[in-house]
Amino acid sequence: MPNHNYRILIIEDEKNLARFVELELQHEGYETAVAYNGRSGLDKALNQDWDAILLDLMLPELNGLEVCRRIRPTKDTPIIIMTARDSVMDRVAGLDQGADDYIVKPFAIEELLARLRSLFRRVEIEEDVRVNKQTVVTFKNLTIEKENRVVRRGDEVIELTKREYELLLNLMEHVNVVLSREVLLDEVWGYKNEVETNVVDVYIRYLRNKIDLPNQDSYIQTVRGTGYVMRES
């Protein structure tokens, strides 16, 4: 994993430890900065962008829990608490104030580096999910991923033509609403008069052949004299 883009703020009042951690992180390719008390650490945390913050709990001027509490309303920067206090209550307090992880002093630098790698992997995965998030429409065990234009029945992908897809999407976005042939024709084909309404019936038949299972009720119900509906039973 390339580290050179990651910026890490170290808030630690033990200068020897802070320097040691800083040098090790720089050796791994991270960019770093150090603050030696809670107030300057909070200032740096809020006024600059960081990819992670290593935060001691026992700090002069402002303790680590308070720093964490004040960061969280405006920043979601990942925070790893570093502290010699290893009681369960301290861990819980840190996590309750919004910390992402906890490491107890004295720690091996390899453990800290592994925690950072794990944290950045999680952040990258969450970002991928956010960027690639699909708008999903569901009906029973049918799902449509709108951006991908993928239709599934359970885990099976169902190949549909553009018209079949648009027809199914319209029905699934209006569950329990009866859609007339005229409405479907207008929504899917985009014009009312140049195509006979029985084209809708033909395409509903195509769609049923692809999505329905043998010997089971069709997902799409016919409402005689009106149109079609997908009903939650």
Question: What is the domain partition of the chain in residue ranges?
Answer: 7-131, 136-229
* Radius of gyration, CA atoms only, the chain: 28
- Give the pLDDT band of residue 88 (cuts 50, 70, 90): confident
**Tokens 């449509």, residue located:** 144
Q: How far apart are CA 10 and CA 12, in angstroms?
A: 6
**pLDDT tens-place string over residues 16-33:** 999 999 999 999 999 999
Mean pLDDT, rounded, for 197-222: 94
What is the arrangement of strands in the sheet containing 101-104, beginning at the earlier edge strand? 31-35, 7-11, 52-56, 79-83, 101-104
Q: How far apart are CA 40 and CA 34, in angstroms?
A: 9
pTM equals 0.57
Q: Do domains 7-131 and 136-229 have the same CATH topology?
A: no
Does domain 7-131 bear CATH number 3.30.420.40? no
In eight-state DSSP terms, residue 175 is T
Who has greater pLDDT, 89 or 192? 89
Residues with Cβ < 8 Å from 143, sequence gap 6 or more?
136, 137, 151, 152
Q: Which CATH architecture has domain 136-229?
A: Orthogonal Bundle (1.10)
**pLDDT tens-place string over residues 93-114:** 888 888 999 999 889 999 999 9
Buried b or exposed e, range 192-225, using 16+ CB within 10 angstroms: eeeeeeeebeebbeebeeebeeeeeeebbeeeee
Q: How far apart are CA 153 and CA 193, in angstroms?
A: 34
